[in-house]
Structure 1
Amino acid sequence: MSEPSSRSPLPKSRPPSDPVDEAGTSVSSSSPPRSPSSVPSNPPVLVIDDSEIAREEVCRVLGAAGFQVIALPSPIGATQAIVRHQARVVVLDVFMPTIRGDRLLTLFRKNQRLGHLSVILMSGHSEKELEQLQMEVQADAVLSKNHLDRLPALVRRLAGKER
C-alpha cells in the first residue's frame, strides 16, 4: 500500500470495520512515538470532521505547531483512536451527518474510559452560537473555523489541564 501524499493525508475510501487502522488513520508527527508512561509536551490530538478540506486544514495547523494529529472523517472508530493513540484532546466538528459533535461529546462524558478528554467543539457558525452550545453540553472550549490560528494555543492549554 502506498502512503498518502502530504497534500492529501487521508485516503478517499476507508475500510468500514476499523477506520483507525494503518490504512485509514492520518497521523502526522514531528516527534517519535512515546511510551505510555511518558507525558508528551504536545500530546496526540484527535480531529473528527466530515469535511475533508476543514479536516486537512486543522491537521496542517496543529501539525505545524508540533502536535501529533490523528484524523477521522466521522465518529466511527473514535473511541479506538483515542485509546490507541492516548489522545487527551479531541477537536470535534459540530455538524456531521452521522452524529452531531455535541451529541458525541455527551457520549464521551458518559464513558469512564473517555472522561479524561478535553473536547473542543468547532464549527463555521458564530462564536456566540458556539458559546451557548458549550454551556449546554459542557465542552471544554469552542472555536469558529474562521479562527484556526487560535487552535494550537487552545489545544496546549487544554492538554496541560487535568479533567
Structure 2
Amino acid sequence: MSDPSSRSPTTRPRPPADPVDDAGTPTSTFPPPRSPSSAPPSPPVLVIDDSEIAREEVSRLLRSAGFQVVALPSPIGATQAIVRHQARIVVVDVFMPTIRGDRLLTLFRKNQRLGHLSVILMSGHSERELEQLQMEVQADAVLSKRNLDRLPALVRRLAGKER
C-alpha cells in the first residue's frame, strides 16, 4: 500500500462509480429526481360527484398523480370547501340529484370570489355530447367518465394556466 503523500500531483482519486443493477444499467440519475415533498404544494382539487364509486376513483387517480384532493358527495358545501381549502380546480359531475354540475358552474361564474376557478364538467356521456354544454356554460374542460385516465394530465394543464 502506498503512502498518499507519495502520489504524483497529477493522480486524482476516482469518484465512486454509479450504482448499477444486475444487468449493468445505472440505477441513479443526475440530477436526482425531485421528490414530491420538494415540489411546492398545489392547492387541492375539489371533486364533486354523487356516485361514491366515481368520486373515489377520480380522487384515487388524482392523488396517485400527486394532487391533493377534497371530495364532496354533493354540491352542498362546495363554496365553503373551495374557500377553506383554496381550491383552484373543480371536477364536477354534470348529473346530480340536488343541482346539475353545469348549473353549479354558472353559479361559480357569477360569484366574484369564485371567478378564479377552473372547472371540469364530467359525465358518463361522451365528450362529443358534452362539448355543446361546455360552450354554453364556459366550462374549462369536459371529460367523459369513460376516459378518466386523461384526468391527471387535464388537471395539470389547467393548474398551469391562469384563469
Decide: shared fold, TM above 0.5.
yes
Match of 1:141 in 2: 141
What is the number of equivalent residue pairs in this alignment? 128
Match of 1:103 in 2: 103
Secondary structure of the residue aligned to 1:87 is coil
For residues 128 and 48 of structure 1, the distance between their equivalents in structure 2, rounded to whole angstroms, comes to 22
- 1:82-126 CA-to-partner distances (Å, cap 9, x unmatched) read 001110000000000000000000000000000000000000001
TM-score, normalised with respect to structure 1: 0.75
Residue 31 of structure 1 and its aligned partner are, at CA, apart by 5.5
Residue 80 of structure 2 corresponds to residue 83 of structure 1 = no
Q: Which has the higher contact order (CA 8 A, sep 6+)?
A: 1
Match of 1:121 in 2: 121
- 1:40-78 CA-to-partner distances (Å, cap 9, x unmatched) read 454310000000000000000000001000000000000
Identity %: 88
Match of 2:47 in 1: 47
Residue 139 of structure 1 and its aligned partner are, at CA, apart by 0.1
For residues 120 and 40 of structure 2, the distance between their equivalents in structure 1, rounded to whole angstroms, comes to 19
Secondary structure of the residue aligned to 2:157 is helix
Cα pair 1:105 1:139 within 8 Å, conserved: yes
RMSD (Å), alpha carbons:
1.7
Question: Mind listing any 5+ residue stretches in structure 1 that lack a counterpart?
Answer: 1-29, 33-38
Match of 2:132 in 1: 132
Match of 1:18 in 2: none
Match of 2:8 in 1: none
**Bigger CA radius of gyration:** 2
Secondary structure of the residue aligned to 1:103 is helix
TM-score, normalised with respect to structure 2: 0.75
Cα pair 2:59 2:69 within 8 Å, conserved: yes
Q: Which contiguous aligned blocks of 4+ residues in structure 1 show a shift greater than 2 angstroms?
A: 39-43
Match of 2:12 in 1: none
For residues 40 and 81 of structure 1, the distance between their equivalents in structure 2, rounded to whole angstroms, comes to 21
Question: Mind listing any 5+ residue stretches in structure 2 that lack a counterpart?
Answer: 1-35
